Amino acid sequence: VERLIKSAKFRISNASFNDIYYIDRGLNKEQLFNLSTAQFIDTNSSVIFYGFTGSGKSFLACALGKQACIKGIKTRYIRIPDLLMLRDEATLTPQGISKLLKKFTNFRLLILDEWLLDELSDEEQHFLFELIERRHENSSTIFCTQFKKEDWHVRLGGGVHADAMMDRIVHNAAWIFTGNLNMRQFYAKKQDQL
């Protein structure tokens, strides 16, 4: 389990399901508890955490990812900007892109943070489509994004790749709004009071 947690490269390494703060956030405790059992991974379903900056999306994703590791599931966390940087580097070597796609396809649970944060080039759209297509119905993905479902199509470029990606993601996913409470601000205030 320790090896799985280490190799997952969680952004928030101390994120724990037991430390999720629920008061005034509107989070569905029962839904999150069900997700923590990792059954959504058995059905190759996805989870989408959406909400404002600082609302705790990454923490929730890392906490769920850690639960998956505890259950022996190979998991990986990565920010989209970092993944696209790896894509750029992969273009410099023969078969680099296909090797990178294979690597990230093989994780049973993949956490993609900062999803749709930046505009995507045609090449980046194609790369993400290939990744989503290969993972579709074979594994589970957690997306962390600031954007609601209705904004996704435009953020994904608005073309056929956008249609195809949305079709593979949105229908078999649990959508969780992370609330209006800025958790960074909340914990900073708590720290000041100590």
40-80 residue pLDDT tens: 999 999 999 999 998 999 999 999 999 999 999 999 999 99
Global pTM value? 0.94
In angstroms, the CA 151 to CA 136 distance is 21
Give the number of other Cβ atoms within 10 Å of residue 60's Cβ: 25
Rounded to the nearest integer, the mean pLDDT of the chain is 93
Residue 169 has pLDDT above 80, yes or no: yes
Q: What percent of the chain has pLDDT over 90?
A: 84
Tens of pLDDT, residue by residue over 102-120, are: 999 999 999 999 999 999 9
Q: Is 24 left (phi over 0), alpha (psi -120 to 50) or beta?
A: left
